[in-house]
Amino acid sequence: MKKMSIKEVASALQISTATVSYILNGKAKEKRISPELTKKVTAFIEENNFRPNHLAKSLRTGKTNVIGLIVEDIADPFFASVAGHIENVAYENGYKIIYSSTKNDPKKAKELIDTFRDRNVDGYIITPTEGIDSEIKYLIDSKLPVVLFDRNCNDLDVSYVGMNNFESSYQAAKYLISQDYKNIAFVTLDSVQPQMIDRLLGYERAIYENRLVSYVKKVEYRAAKEHLIMAEIEHMLNTEPHIDAIFFATNYLAITGIELLNRLGVKIGEELGMMVFDDNDLFRIHQPSISAIAQPIQEMSQQLINDLLEHMQDTNEYTNRTTVLPAHLIIRDSSSKTRKNA
């Protein structure tokens, strides 16, 4: 029951492997192979369940039909969701996906790019870490299809898909201001990632435009433990008691923050407004519900995989495309002093 080779098919049918190969690849007509023979071969292949060896094919053609997906962490629901959407489309187009998580470690990111390169993946979807511009540039220079997402590398001519962090942050902050919050704090990570910086700047723009004061709390990035985050937020609330709203730059920070506030008995919405980046079941169901900026995951994924497929189709004519999608601002109860269900 071992695997059959094209040679065996050929010899069983007393024809050459070339003929079988042409038929397999739909070039029967082009190569003027008689319909009868074509039918005979097709039938034989079907009957004996012959499957060409993918490795041999890849070795010869240089195509693996594999897409390399490099994300910060596949276990993160955001990236997992993107992985799911991408897979659907990739699957329909005959591609499989091989993934790896950088854990935001540039060294690992570089290794991953190398490994994927060694394995001849046909295209790359990458969430870049800091300091891997040169590796990405190398891929591009080698004419390999690459699409970045979530974070861009500004200095590179490469396709990118992301969301409008600056604009959505600005709009969200403006909304809080419109709801009469006067001292809005922004809790973020101490990170230089462009998307994080944009979120901060969007907030600050809204603050400055309205002649308000900005309160920015940067939580240390690496292995930020929950209780440390809580301690920092608590400290901030104690030293700046006039703060009347918090805008969290990430999901995780917000969840930790909510836990703290619940424990402190602070009434979210009434006493303290809240806005969060990245939506989540929790924010919808929490009482009061929490307003959030939802990333357009579906749209981003679609764009990502479309761009990549297109790029893989015609490597030469393809021109890079930067897509910045609008986020969805979801207004719930936490961003108004008068709660609907209060």
Partner DNA sequence: CTGTTAGCGCGTTCAC
Partner DNA sequence: GTGAACGCGCTAACAG
| Residues binding its own copies (CB under 8 A) | 1, 51, 53-56, 58-59, 64, 66, 73-77, 79-81, 83-85, 87, 91, 96-101, 114-115, 118-120, 141-142, 255, 258-259, 262, 280-282, 284-287
Size of the site for DNA (CB under 7 A): 28
Those residues with Cβ within 8 angstroms of residue 58's Cβ, 6 or more apart along the chain or in another chain: 64, 65, 120
Burial class (CB in 10 A: 0-12, 13-18, 19+), 175: buried
Write out the H or E segment, with its range, that includes residue 4: none
For its own copies, the closer CB: 33 or 258 = 258
| DSSP states of 271-320 | TBEEEEES--HHHHHSSS--EEEE--HHHHHHHHHHHHHHHHH-TTT---
Note whether 142 binds DNA by CB under 7 A: no
Interaction partner, residue 7 (its own copies, DNA, none; CB < 5-8 Å by kind) = DNA
- Helical axes 297-313 vs 77-92, angle rounded to 10°: 40
* Span interacting with DNA, options 1-9, 233-241, 253-261, 306-314, rule CB under 7 A: 1-9
Here's the x/- map for DNA, 66-95, by CB under 7 A: it reads as: ------------------------------
Answer for which of 1, 14, 317, 341 binds DNA (CB under 7 A) is 14
| b (16+ CB within 10 A) / e for 6-34 | beebbeeeebeeebbbbbbeeebeeeebe
Q: Please tell me whether residue 123 adopts helix, strand or coil conformation.
A: strand
Which does residue 96 touch among DNA, its own copies, none (CB within 5 to 8 A, set by kind)?
Answer: its own copies
Q: Which of 1, 34, 94, 211 binds DNA (CB under 7 A)?
A: 34
CB of 54 to DNA, least distance (A): 8
Length of the chain counted residue by residue: 342
307 is in the binding site of which of its own copies, DNA, none (Cβ under 5 to 8 A by kind)?
A: none
Q: Which is nearer to DNA, 21 or 104 (CB)?
A: 21
What angle do the packed helices 226-239 and 251-264 form, to 10 degrees? 60
Nearer to DNA among residue 21 and residue 320 (C-beta): 21
By CB under 7 A, tell whether 11 contacts DNA: no
255 binds, among its own copies, DNA, none (CB under 5 to 8 A by kind): its own copies
Does the footprint of DNA cover residue 19 (CB under 7 A)? yes
- Asked if residue 61 binds DNA (CB under 7 A), the reply is yes
Choose between 31 and 284: whose C-beta lies nearer to DNA: 31
Question: What is the Cα–Cα distance from 212 to 196, expressed in whole angstroms?
Answer: 21
Residue 91, contacted partner among DNA, its own copies, none, CB below 5-8 A by kind = its own copies
Integer CA distances (angstroms), 256 to 10, 115, 231, 288, in order: 65, 36, 10, 16
Q: How far is Cα 186 from Cα 280, in angstroms, rounded to an integer? A: 19
First to last CA, the chain: 70
Work out the number of other CB atoms within 10 angstroms of the CB of residue 238.
9
83 binds, among DNA, its own copies, none (CB under 5 to 8 A by kind): its own copies
Smallest gap from residue 229 Cβ to its own copies (A) = 14
With beta carbons less than 8 A apart as the criterion, state whether 214 and 245 touch. no
In the complex, minimum distance from the CB of residue 134 to its own copies, in angstroms, rounded to a whole number: 14
Question: Footprint of DNA on this chain (CB under 7 A)?
Answer: 3, 5-7, 14-19, 21-22, 24-25, 31-34, 36-38, 52-53, 56-57, 59-61
